[in-house]
Amino acid sequence: NAGVTQTPKFRVLKTGQSMTLLCAQDMNHEYMYWYRQDPGMGLRLIHYSVGEGTTAKGEVPDGYNVSRLKKQNFLLGLESAAPSQTSVYFCASSPGLAGGSSNEQFFGPGTRLTVL
């Protein structure tokens, strides 16, 4: 199993450009998440999905959109990139709600995005 994979690994954008980050998981997990990681701020949740066809806002959703058309994929879109979106983006998946011996989050390797 590949686990959680992210594409691309690195990207440099100019202000105003758009791009899509792809997350894929092969564990048949229901829940998927997008986080951003900034120095001294830990991980902050951008959007999440509780199943195919569903999405919801996290704590920092502004400037981002997401889609979950297939259970295994969770896409994060930036329609008009801004320098404040320079960050490392992590995707994660989990089998279900927090709690229980088997539920935990599995993380992808991250995408490092720079917006000039």
Partner 1 sequence: AQSVTQPDIHITVSEGASLELRCNYSYGATPYLFWYVQSPGQGLQLLLKYFSGDTLVQGIKGFEAEFKRSQSSFNLRKPSVHWSDAAEYFCAVGATGTYKYIFGTGTRLKVLA
* H or E element that contains 75: strand 73-78
Stretch that binds partner 1, among 14-22, 60-68, 73-81, 100-108 (CB under 8 A): 100-108
What DSSP character marks residue 53?
T
Residue with tokens 């295994």: 72
Stretch that binds partner 1, among 12-20, 40-48, 65-73, 79-87 (CB under 8 A): 40-48
- Cα 116 to its chain centre, rounded Å, is 21
- Is residue 40 a contact residue for partner 1 (CB under 8 A)? yes
- Is residue 53 a contact residue for partner 1 (CB under 8 A)? no
CA distance 22 to 11: 12
Residues lying near partner 1 in the complex (CB under 8 A) are found at 4, 31, 33, 40-43, 45, 48, 50, 56, 90, 92, 97-101, 103-110
